[in-house]
Amino acid sequence: MNSPAINLFPDRLLDELTVKANASPRGRAHLNVHASADDPVQRFFVMVNRHSYVRPHRHLTKSELGLVIRGAFDLIAFDDAGTVTARHVIGAVAGGSEGFAYESGQANWHTLVARVDGSTFFEVKQGPYDAATASEFAPWAPPEGDASVPQFMQWLRDAQPGDAFRPAA
């Protein structure tokens, strides 16, 4: 009887993702563990640098599980109007964090902001992946590449529950 294959993920994998993230204008890189977009379970590593903008989004039909394996993130949740409803520190930080993993349920607006370059999480979501329905981006958050993204990112770094983004005139 044949045994199933075992995939090992050595530390150098994270170092390689760091090189890719540093070379990317978006400041992040990912590596799929699943074989195809049709797989019933989507699994991937995501390396994120501090300047990388992960636009607030939600998944209407799926939840996501993230396990921080390097660095740390601010996990920020919002209501439908874009007001911060929760802020959590996830991962390895001086003074501690609230946890090493998170699960964001269906239809919850959220984003991650890397606290240090090279912060990495392992994400698991139900498949199959369909780009048209995978994520809904928050209409109150600037699209990636918009001139207001740096201002929004600075606001995200400091925003607390009850705060809502108000662009400078």
Q: What total number of domains does the chain contain?
A: 1
**118 within 8 A of 21, measured Cβ to Cβ:** yes
**Domain assignment of residue 80, yes or no:** yes
pLDDT higher for 87 or 40?
A: 87
Taking 50 as the threshold, does the pLDDT of residue 152 lie above it? yes
Q: Which helix (H) or strand (E) holds 155?
A: helix 149-158
What's the pLDDT at 2? Answer: 46
Is residue 160 helix, strand or coil? Answer: coil
What's the predicted TM-score (pTM) here?
A: 0.89
pLDDT in tens, 8-54: 899 999 999 999 999 999 999 999 998 888 888 899 999 999 999 99
**10 within 8 A of 16, measured Cβ to Cβ:** no
CATH of the domain at 152: 2.60.120.10
Percent of the chain scoring above 70 in pLDDT: 96
**Domain assignment of residue 134, yes or no:** yes
